[in-house]
Amino acid sequence: MAPVQCYDLVSQLSHTLQDNERQDDSLTQPWRAFWPPSGAADPGIWRNSEFPEVSIWKFDPRQPFDRPWRKWTRTLRAKAEANQYSPQNIGHEITFPANNRRCCEDPYDSNPTHCAVAAKELDVQATTQGMGIVTSSFEYLAPFAESRSEKPYLSRLPSLPGFRRTNISGCDQPTQVYEVSGNEHLFALDTSGFAFVKFSNPILDFADSTVCERYVPCLASWLKSYLNCLDVHVYAYNVRLDNQPRLLTYYIGQDATPKSCSERLQIYLPGKAEILGSKRVRFLKCVSWSLNQCIIWRPLTTPLQNSPLALCDFRTVSPRDLIAADILFPHYLDEAYEVLHSPAHRWFYKQGMKEEDMILFKLDDTAEDVAKLCPHSAFMDPSVPADTPERMSIEVRVIAIG
């Protein structure tokens, strides 16, 4: 069986997502009356929110880690709102395009050819290598009806009476996850969309000041060498602790779209985005330049953690599994993909990650013929003891140039 090539997937992904983008133009965006906070239809409406300062907050690219929505979305009120994403709690069902409907009875034949082939190859590989398997519940985007009128969205703004935080509904799906220990080398960024790597760092204090002053520069320097690129720009980080309210913890995510990554260049590298864009178009074909956006994830609790991170191999993701959703920030409109269930998806994780272990996975990549993205999710690992501590981790988002 010939291995699936990334360029087959990338070509289909590009054409299908362009079609979906044209469909999105006809959808309503029910949040428009409330956003942006500084220009809402009722200028005084945000004075009634949990954090009225949202209407005057301004983003400064010189301080990219000033991210007040980390506080806004961690309140108990915000957590309760975000978890009301089932159809009965939302009050009506959000429906999605009929051309995405699928039959899921057969684990291979109901899926696009490239996904079926990739799934079979990965199953054979996992069996041959003796990978363990666990079954857990993953939260996919809910099943949908024949048409839709609203585009999915999630607000990262403060809670506000009369303004729903999200119109997204999810559903539990039993999912098998392969455990990769000893086989990490079989997965690479440009084929699977993720990689398991080693990054030794002696920092034990993950207070904001330490992360900004010590961890981020050290990580950026290491990434520049590991990726063999010209520059690395860290634009966001998040430290997850077990005593913090969490937002959609077990909901599958793909945190960006090509459209949103282009916007992020304008926001985080103002004045350079056009130069980088032109170089990427002109120089990639000559000197193998690449410009990609990744997430770096590493655990802070070891050796066993509950809620480890699972990653879906890019080769098993069809474009029709991805539904674009608006993400509302005070200073710009972001976009991410919600993920529909497919029995062809193949998930992987590493159990017992140590402090030097790190996962690197893609949000987007402007290079041709490579993996572009990686759906991912935390999950409850049924193979660890019931009293296993929740994982604490640090997540860093970067733009790698070159």
pLDDT tens, 154-167? 999 999 888 889 98
Tell me which DSSP letter residue 213 carries: I
> Which residues, in sequence order, are bridge partners of residue 325?
336
Instruction: State how far the Cα of 387 lies from the Cα of 369, in Å rounded to an integer.
Output: 44
Is 229 within 8 Å of 402 (Cβ atoms)? yes
Q: What is the pLDDT of residues 20-60, one digit of tens each?
A: 555 566 788 989 989 999 877 787 889 888 899 998 899 99
Segment 128-141, tens digit of pLDDT: 999 999 999 999 99
Tell me: pLDDT of 395 over 50: yes
* Residue 363 reports pLDDT greater than 70: yes
- Please tell me which of 29-33, 95-99, 355-359, 378-382 the model is most confident about, judged by mean pLDDT: 29-33
Query: How far is residue 284's CA from residue 282's CA, in Å, rounded to a whole number?
Result: 6
Residue 64: per-residue pLDDT: 87
Q: Evaluate if residue 3 carries a pLDDT over 60.
A: no
Residue with tokens 């991805």: 322
pLDDT, tens digit (0-9, with 9 covering 90-100), for 302-314:
556 677 889 999 9
Q: For residue 173, how many other CB atoms are within 10 A of its CB?
A: 18
Q: How far is CA 334 from the centre of its chain?
A: 12
pLDDT at position 147? 46
Distances (CA, A) of 104 to 13, 100, 273, 341: 21, 12, 42, 9
Q: What is the per-residue pLDDT for 303?
A: 58
The mean pLDDT of 220-227, rounded to a whole number, is 89
Q: Is residue 118 within 8 Å of 14, Cβ to Cβ?
A: no
Q: Tell me the percentage of the chain whose pLDDT exceeds 70.
A: 72
> Per-residue confidence at 90, pLDDT binned at 50, 70, 90?
very low
More confident call, 213 vs 18:
213
Let me know: does 400 contact 243? Beta carbons within 8 Å.
no
Other C-beta atoms within 10 Å of 36: how many?
17
- By DSSP bridging, strand 153-155 and strand 322-328 are parallel
